[in-house]
Amino acid sequence: ARRSRRAGSSEAGALEEAVRRIRLLDDRHGADGLYRRAAAPLRAAFALLDAGTTRQTTADRLHSGAGELAISVGWLAHDSGRFDDARSHYAEALATARVTGDDALEAHAFCNTAFLARDAGRPREAVRAAQAAQRVARPLGSPRLMSLLALREAGGWAGLADRTGCEQALVRAQALYDRGRCDHDPEWMSFYGEAELEGLTAQCWSALGDWPRAARHARRAADLQDPHFTRNIALYTAELADDLARGGRPDEAAVAGLRVLDLLDQVQSSRIQTMLAGTARVLLPHRRAGGVSAFLERHASTPRKV
């Protein structure tokens, strides 16, 4: 009777490894193809929880692993534009965190919920979720985590067109970031370096319509990014192309846009494709500017992988 077999530490270890593997693949290739493949391990993880365990420490690891996996799968849904799926995965992670009193998992779930709310056009919810994340994360002792959560809050304020609230949160994010890494930083935060700080700051200024400032931060983000994070280089460069296009610099925007198209062979992300499509629309009236027609033609002939 396989069904009644209880889960042990080897299952907990396998679950933690699955989370790491998904994150690594997402960094390199983006979310779209991965999302379908990641749903099965997530179902298996929750089946393990249902089976129960003999030892409390193993149960805690399984709950934490299942919650982190739910967030990873939720992120894949989020990045590939399946916002409702993402919301339910994040809610599942939040419920798992609450049941087990796992503050680190709760902070992570609220962090992603805030990001999703911003992307889904619910900026007030983004602010509230980011503030809830900061409340639960404060005792965890990770300035880097608090910095990222301040950025999530800034994104919400930017969506509400509250420049003051946004600037205050950005200043806090930078100050916390400058306190450096520490042993309490969560493992999932490996993506959060100076490039991501610049990239999220660019998104805030872009939402506030300050294109020159947004472009400056987006360019810095793309320049600073570790080459391993192909998806993020494509994302920051797409942000740069869009900010340049909207800021009235079509020729530079076209150069950045072509660079993103070069990366789309390796990266599948609906978010990036949607951004590029928006940039192409802004550039249409400028097709006579240097390089713009080359970008528009190549963009039009690039198949969308969804």
Q: What is the pLDDT of residues 21-77, one digit of tens each?
A: 666 655 554 555 565 666 666 666 666 666 665 567 777 778 888 888 899 889 888
Q: Which residue has the higher pLDDT, 81 or 181?
A: 181
Mean pLDDT of 106-131: 97
The burial class, CB within 10 Å (0-12 / 13-18 / 19+), for 216 is middle
- Weakest mean pLDDT among 45-54, 196-205, 219-228, 277-286: 45-54
Q: Which residue has the higher pLDDT, 229 or 104?
A: 104
Please determine, for residue 154, whether its predicted confidence score (pLDDT) is greater than 80.
Answer: yes
Q: Which residue has the tokens 């080359």?
A: 294
Please determine, for residue 97, whether its predicted confidence score (pLDDT) is greater than 80.
Answer: yes
Q: Catalogue the E-assigned strands of the chain.
A: none
Phi, psi of 289 (to 5 degrees): -65, 155
CA distance 94 to 5: 27
Average pLDDT, the chain: 87
pLDDT at residue number 236: 97
Helix residue ranges per DSSP H, 80-142:
83-100, 103-119, 123-137
Tokens of 217: 């931060």
Query: What is the Rg, in whole angstroms, of the alpha carbon atoms belonging to the chain?
Result: 20
Please determine, for residue 87, whether its predicted confidence score (pLDDT) is greater than 60.
Answer: yes
Q: How far is CA 163 from CA 206, 242, 243, in A?
A: 12, 20, 18
Mean pLDDT of 194-220: 97
CA distance 36 to 53: 28
Mean pLDDT of 189-193: 91
The percent of residues above 70 in pLDDT, for the chain, comes to: 82
| Contact of 216 with 253, CB cutoff 8 Å | no
| Contact of 204 with 170, CB cutoff 8 Å | yes
pLDDT in tens, 208-252: 999 999 999 999 999 999 888 898 999 999 999 999 999 999 999
Which are the contacts of 204, defined by CB distance < 8 A and separation ≥ 6? 151, 154, 155, 157, 158, 166, 170, 214
Closest CA to 273 of 241, 227, 229: 241
Mean pLDDT of 276-300: 95
